Amino acid sequence: MRGILLLGFKIAVSIALLVLALRKVDFSDVAARIDLVTLWWLIFAFAVVPAQIFFGALRWREIAQLCGAPLTIWHAFRLNMIAAFFNQVLPSSVGGDAMRVWFVGRSGAGWRAAGYSVLIDRAIGLAVLALLIAASLPWSLRLIADPQGRVALLLVDIAAIAGGIGFLVLGFLQWRWLTRWQIVRHLQECSQIAGRLVTSRVHGPSLVILSLLVNVLNAVIAWAIIRSIGAGASFAQLFLLIPPVMLVTTIPISIAGWGLREATMALAFGYAALRPDDGVSASLLFGIVNFVAGALGGLVWILSRKPANTDDSVVDDLAGELPGRPR
């Protein structure tokens, strides 16, 4: 019953936010802007999505190996493509993460290793996104002249950074009462592994670079979409505006981010003295591009025979590589 109510709530939020955002869009104007020339920009945006998924797969593969769930590059990419499909069709923006855990866990790597790898992958990705927003603040605050927009940007980034710090600090806490809850014990283990990863001279830089590439490609996709509708936003402006929008969209209160993304894009464009309706139009096309890419991931899932390929001998070899690795 609770699951049905939560699903109903997310559907209601998505519909309400979409209705509010779409009131600002003149669809006839948007359609008139797209012709055979600008259509190529949409095709380019779609082509960038698999590249973005590939870089995310490289990051997850590196984390999964050290969690005891080794994957080949091909299998990590294939599972991330499938996850992109489930992100679009399940009633949550993290539905794909649950499916990644399912596929890797049932392949023989173990449910704990699978769950830890996906949780740490998600945490590191969000932490780097928050740090990117923080590093861009001198330029973002110059772009956003509206005082309310500046406050909103600062609050979102502070909350994200505080959450990341809290997650890492959790691994150092030795309070016995915390270990009474199994979920807290798992989070502590994940926190300890994540801390070792990000401070490692070998793995830390590569994980940060891969995470940055994923976020840069989000801006590239948005820029290509903006070009397709002839909107007046530069790549530099989008590079500053898209990361906060993506961060807000991760809040699991809507269906695959629909509605929440459009409303946030409208606000971001308005705060930056750009046309809010261009933001909504770009967000809708952004969602459509990702939906089509997700459909391609669904095709990969249908054609897949085995969800993952895990070599138990590799797991044994990695047993001592990372102290405190979950067993």
pLDDT score recorded for residue 318? 34
Helical spans, DSSP H, in the chain: 2-22, 27-33, 36-67, 73-89, 95-104, 111-135, 137-143, 147-170, 182-199, 204-228, 235-249, 260-271, 276-303, 312-317
Q: What is the DSSP string of 249-310?
A: HTSSSSSTTTTHHHHHHHHHHHHTTS-HHHHHHHHHHHHHHHHHHHHHHHHHHHH-S-S---
- 8 A C-beta contact, residue 267 and residue 276: yes
Residue 232, pLDDT score = 81
Q: Give the DSSP letter of residue 92.
A: S
Side chain identity, residue 185: R
| Calpha distance 271→264 (Å, rounded) | 10
- Residue type (1 letter), 108: G
The per-residue pLDDT for 314 is: 36
Task: Output phi, psi for 232, to 5 deg.
Answer: -95, 65
**Domain contains 144:** yes
In a domain, 4, yes or no: no
Based on its alpha-carbon atoms, the radius of gyration of the chain, rounded to whole angstroms, reads 20
273: containing domain: 26-315
Residue 322 belongs to a domain: no
Residue 147 resides in a domain: yes
Angle, alpha carbons 268-274-279 (nearest 5°): 55
Domain-embedded: residue 325: no
Residue 172's nearest CA partner among 152, 188, 158 is 188
If DSSP codes are grouped into helix, strand and coil, which group holds residue 8? helix
| Each residue's pLDDT expressed in tens, for the chain with a length of 327 residues | 665 665 565 667 666 755 555 555 555 655 666 666 678 888 999 999 999 999 999 999 999 988 888 899 999 999 999 998 888 776 555 678 888 999 998 887 788 999 999 999 999 999 999 999 999 999 999 999 888 888 988 998 899 899 888 888 887 877 777 767 778 888 888 998 898 898 898 899 999 999 999 999 999 999 999 988 888 889 999 999 999 999 888 887 777 777 888 888 988 998 888 888 888 888 888 988 988 888 888 888 888 755 444 443 333 333 333 434 444
What's the number of domains the chain is made of? 1
In angstroms, the Cα distances linking 248 to 13, 51, 112, 215 are 14, 23, 28, 14
Task: Give pLDDT, residue 164.
Answer: 87
User: According to the model, what pLDDT value does residue 61 have?
Assistant: 95
3 domain-assigned: no
| Structural domain contains residue 78 | yes
Could you tell me the CA-to-CA distances from 273 to 154, 173, 262 in Å, in that order?
18, 45, 17
